[in-house]
A and B are shown apart, each in its own frame.
Chain A
Amino acid sequence: MSPTHPEDSDSPPPFERYRSIIPEFDQFLGALNRPLPTCVWANPNKTTPQQLERYFESHHIDYRPLGWVDGAYRLSNVSSPGTRFGFVAGLYHVQEEVSLLPVELMDLHPGQRILDACAAPGSKTTRIATTVGQEATVIANDRNFHRMAPLARSVDRLGITNTAVMVHDATNLPGHIGTFDRLLADVPCSCEATWRKNHEVGPADDADFQRLCTIQRAILARCLQLCRPGGRVVYSTCSFAPEENEAIVDTVLAEHGDHWDLVPTHIDGFKTSPGLVRWQDRRFDPRLQHAVRVYPHQNDTGGFFVAVLEHRGEPHD
């Protein structure tokens, strides 16, 4: 990642290269300068949305339910939601709104075996584990043992009993871990779409792309290999760069595409843009229009890219 505005870290980085693909580009730039809203979700292991709303009211916390995902809220008058009683007691978890999206698109059901291939720091893992219920098995993997500490702490605080933590390089996951019904490949990326939260990040340069894209392709390809017939792999990044998004899925689909579909995605109440089918002089698999891009001005969130790949085989009982 390259800090791009060392002279003024509060100015948006030069996302000009995306002017041709981001709708309402001036609104996009304007949204980058606004603070990111605080988002939390109710932990079903310890409370219900109704009980959490009563907690917010009794503790004078202003909340607004998100229109597109149940049990999740924007808080407007809390500066440190991670030190409030409700958080300490495990009633809610703090997570950036847009990063709820890949888990919503996983189509989770009890009894599934699920792998979060790049789990640290663990918000998506905890969201998966609490959404799918206790009758599922979740494996949270990351190659960095130290980055797993926050995940372990969240698992403890939220009372999650269906999750095992594993430390391994996701590009080279061993075959003995078996196969999965659902896999999340939320791969390491330039993180440029998190600029509203972290002004240290900016657009990646060519060297970053070369390094990251090799890893991203390898992780996605390995996840496809570990997916059961009829299963689903969700690929996501917090990057606007087509090099880290459509180009990765396109390349991996070219190698494995005979058995895979890209699932059309639509979420009521959440604005998205379709995935790109061309960027600069490169054309992508037309099915990539089914991927989704999220820009900060569309829902007042950070940015994200999600592609949902589904295996064509019949699921086993």
Chain B
Amino acid sequence: MIELREITAHQAGIDADDRTCRCQNIELLAPEPIVEYLQQLYQFGHDAFDGCVFFKSSRKHIRVATLPMAIPPGPDIDRVGLELLRIDMATPRISTVAAMTWGRRAGRNAVDTSQQQCLAYLRRNPIALTDRQLSGCTGRGFVIIRHETHPLGVGFLESTRPEDDHCGQMRSMYPSAFSAELQETSPFGNPR
């Protein structure tokens, strides 16, 4: 879990006042617990989020942006930056777009897939991971899926314990909206 702590705009080091942030429904958050949580899980490196600010955009979500300085106040603003974490669950889950953006840096809990596994992932089919792929994972939970070093999103790894029936089984959490376009066409240009 993450111990979220609200901070002021001044503490966040951004060029906006707290009234501005409130108008935008932005609740600025201390970066340390968030960065540390992601570091523990994925080892992105402590400098991965340098220059970023974190904020709650709703009860469910934390978003990340680079210096949202001078963003206008008021109800017209629809969204700022990228979704980073979903926090209304037992284990906060990194978003697909955050996995795509920072996943290349991940030193653990990241799986480099074969082309066949990648295609299965993008079509939301389950994947059986090899022992070698499992060796970089720390246990049951959310892992980042990559192919040819390029991160694509998140999967849920059922278990890394050999005694479990579901050891090495990974559920694709690739968004169905993204996946729909890839059901008929292979992103690798091969016949389906």
- Which chain A residues lie closer than 8 Å to B33 at the CB level? none
Q: Are A161 and B52 in contact, CB atoms less than 8 angstroms apart?
A: yes
Question: Please, how many residues of chain B have a CB less than 8 angstroms from a CB on the other chain?
Answer: 40
- Which chain B residues lie closer than 8 Å to A177 at the CB level? 72, 74, 76
CB of B69 closer than 8 Å to a CB of A: yes
Interface members, chain B 125-177 (any A CB < 8 Å): 147-148, 150-152
Q: Are A137 and B67 in contact, CB atoms less than 8 angstroms apart?
A: yes
Q: Are B77 and A166 in contact, CB atoms less than 8 angstroms apart?
A: yes
Closest residue of chain A to B152, judged by CB? A89
Q: Are B187 and A85 in contact, CB atoms less than 8 angstroms apart?
A: yes
Q: Which of B67, B77, B101 contacts A159 (CB 8 A)?
A: B101
Q: Are B152 and A162 in contact, CB atoms less than 8 angstroms apart?
A: no
Interface members, chain A 66-113 (any B CB < 8 Å): 78, 80, 82-85, 87-91, 113
CB of B91 closer than 8 Å to a CB of A: no
One digit per residue, 1 when the CB lies within 8 angstroms of any chain A CB and 0 when it does not, for chain B 70-86 equals: 11111011111111000
One digit per residue, 1 when the CB lies within 8 angstroms of any chain B CB and 0 when it does not, for chain A 162-189 equals: 1111111000001011100000000000
Q: Is the interface of B mostly helix, strand, loop or mixed?
A: mixed
**How many A-B residue pairs lie within 8 Å, measured between CB atoms?**
112
For residue B77, give the distance in angstroms from its CB to the closest CB of chain A. Answer: 5
Q: Are A60 and B189 in contact, CB atoms less than 8 angstroms apart?
A: yes
Q: Are A178 and B66 in contact, CB atoms less than 8 angstroms apart?
A: no
What bracket does the count of chain A residues touching chain B fall in?
35 or more
Closest residue of chain A to B177, judged by CB? A153
For residue B177, give the distance in angstroms from its CB to the closest CB of chain A. Answer: 8
For residue A156, give the distance in angstroms from its CB to the closest CB of chain B. Answer: 4
- Which chain A residues lie closer than 8 Å to B79 at the CB level? 152, 164-165
CB of A36 closer than 8 Å to a CB of B: no
Known pairs A135-B66, A137-B71, A161-B52; A59 contacts B189 (CB<8 A) = yes
CB of B29 closer than 8 Å to a CB of A: no
- Which chain B residues lie closer than 8 Å to A157 at the CB level? 97, 100
**Residue positions of B touching A, CB distance < 8 A:** 51-52, 64-74, 76-83, 96-97, 100-101, 104, 118, 122, 147-148, 150-152, 178, 181-182, 185, 187-189
The 4 closest A-B pairs by CB, nearest first: A159-B101, A177-B72, A89-B150, A156-B97
Please name 28 pairs of A and B residues whose Cβ atoms are closer than 8 Å in the assembled complex, sorted by A.
A45-B101, A46-B101, A46-B104, A60-B189, A84-B187, A85-B118, A85-B147, A85-B187, A85-B188, A88-B187, A89-B100, A90-B100, A90-B150, A139-B71, A148-B78, A159-B97, A159-B100, A162-B67, A164-B65, A164-B71, A166-B72, A166-B76, A167-B76, A167-B78, A176-B73, A177-B72, A177-B74, A178-B70
**Residue positions of A touching B, CB distance < 8 A:** 45-46, 55, 59-60, 78, 80, 82-85, 87-91, 113, 134-135, 137, 139, 141, 145, 148, 152, 155-157, 159-168, 174, 176-178
